Amino acid sequence: MLLNTEQAHPDHPQLDRYDTATLVDALAADQACAAEAVRAAGPALAQAVDAAAARLREGGRLVYAGAGTSGRLGLLDSVELHPTFSWPHERALALLAGGEGALYRAVEGAEDSREGGAADIAAAGVGALDVVLLLAASGGTPYALGAAEAARARGALTVGFANNPGAPLLAACEVGVLLDTGPEVISGSTRLKAGTAQKIALNTFSSAVMVKLHKVYGNLMVDVQASNAKLVKRALRLTMLASGADEAAASAALAASGSRVKLAIVMLKAGLGAEAAQARLEAAGGSIEAALRR
């Protein structure tokens, strides 16, 4: 049976005859289905977020595994966690079929190796506290299936993301997230809305997990890494918004806190020095709200 993602789109049989404006509109409009597919997967994503947060609180890692576009999207999500949420580099690992070389060009046969997926999981030392995200638009990529089987055998939480109903990857994982995007405007090109849905789903999943882990205060990104001029300004703005302090006071608190926004906020709102504020935050599990109640 032909997979949904491989079928010809019924609405665009003459795509190559469209004028440019119509062509662009058709390609852009079809992307809206990606967001709809992610919203439909909301219950599964919520289940995955709660299960993942519980393990990550105990020191587990996020491990992304996939091939081709799916693998590259996993890598993208993994590297964005540190500057956005101060998530440690060593606790966000991306496994890509074919290794680093596959970032830039296809490595023939790598995605077809079930053994390769299992070997990469073993080499990464995946364990029971880890959360392994398996990504495959088809849901049947051997590399992802091998990785899922090996990760689950090691006791890790496995979350599978696939774009076809009934995909083997969804059944192979503890939590299956179906992103049912249907046929592509360009038949079989899952870098289009299938890839967009995966990107949205990963954004949603990892951001929700970080909220659960107290990386956000209200809706402010308070664990940002101020690693460049833009982010230094952002850290100051966030500190002012969260604490109500003026620019001078916020700047002084950030300087005393080592540019740690969360710490500066607690210092300002609780009237504490850096050491006492840090102790409160640690006792509160990193939650600003809980630290301010102490």
Active-site positions read 80, 111
User: For 161-180, what is the HEC assignment?
Assistant: EECCCCCHHHHHCCEEEECC
Where is 92: in which H helix or E strand? strand 92-96
Q: What is the DSSP letter of 9?
A: P
Cα–Cα distance measured from residue 87 to residue 81, given in angstroms and rounded to the nearest whole number: 6
Could you give the C-alpha distances from 226 to 7, 29, 103, 131, in angstroms and in order? 46, 37, 27, 27
Whether 44 and 174 have beta carbons less than 8 Å apart is answered as no
Provide the residue type at 249 as one letter.
Answer: A
Where is 237: in which H helix or E strand? helix 229-243
Residue given tokens 């926004």 in the structure block: 261
